[in-house]
Amino acid sequence: MNLRTRRSQPPEINLTSLLDVVFLLLIFFMVSTTFKDESGQEQTRLRVTLPQAQGQDQPAKEAESIRIIIDQSGTFYVNDRLVVDQQAMTLVRALTGAINQRKGMPVLIQADANTPHQAVMTALDAAAEVGLNKVSFATARRTPPAAPQ
């Protein structure tokens, strides 16, 4: 009589099916992932709502400040006089002629609502280059929409 029990062999784990599932998950995540373009060449899809002015109307003191008016096409006017072109250096020369030895004068920038942002930045840069650092912007109060009748 043989009372010894036979030792059973250790169970074998078949990894083939496990690897198949792992590769299927890997392929799924690779196909469904989108990558963000960080190169900066693509246009930003950010919508910006610019703030509106709130507060009280402040009349501009024309005799004590230099007015830079920028129309819809980006044309500059310094104290109601047309600047010949839209170049920054031309605007610097016009501002230099307008300050007349008074370096601390404030500057009032009046830009049309549809003025290109670059034109306003050019006016700010030109004022800083001449040494005018007291800059304010003229705004118009937006009228509330009329109530329906």
Q: Cα separation of 124 and 145, whole Å?
A: 33
Annotate 70-85 with DSSP letters as a single string: E-TT--EEETTEE-SS
pTM, entire model: 0.53
- Give 105-147 pLDDT, tens digit per residue: 888 888 888 888 888 899 899 988 888 888 888 866 666 666 5
Question: b vs e for 54-67, b when ≥16 Cβ sit within 10 Å of the residue's Cβ?
Answer: eeeeeeeeeeebbb
- Give 59-102 pLDDT, tens digit per residue: 654 457 888 888 888 889 988 888 888 888 888 888 888 887 67
CB 66 within 8 A of CB 106: yes
Tokens of 111: 């830009």
Question: b vs e for 115-149, b when ≥16 Cβ sit within 10 Å of the residue's Cβ?
Answer: beeebbebbbebbeebebeebeeebeeeeeeeeee
Amino acid at 11: P
Q: Cα separation of 123 and 109, whole Å?
A: 8
CB 92 within 8 A of CB 129: yes
Q: What is the pLDDT of residue 48?
A: 47
Q: What is the pLDDT of residue 55?
A: 66
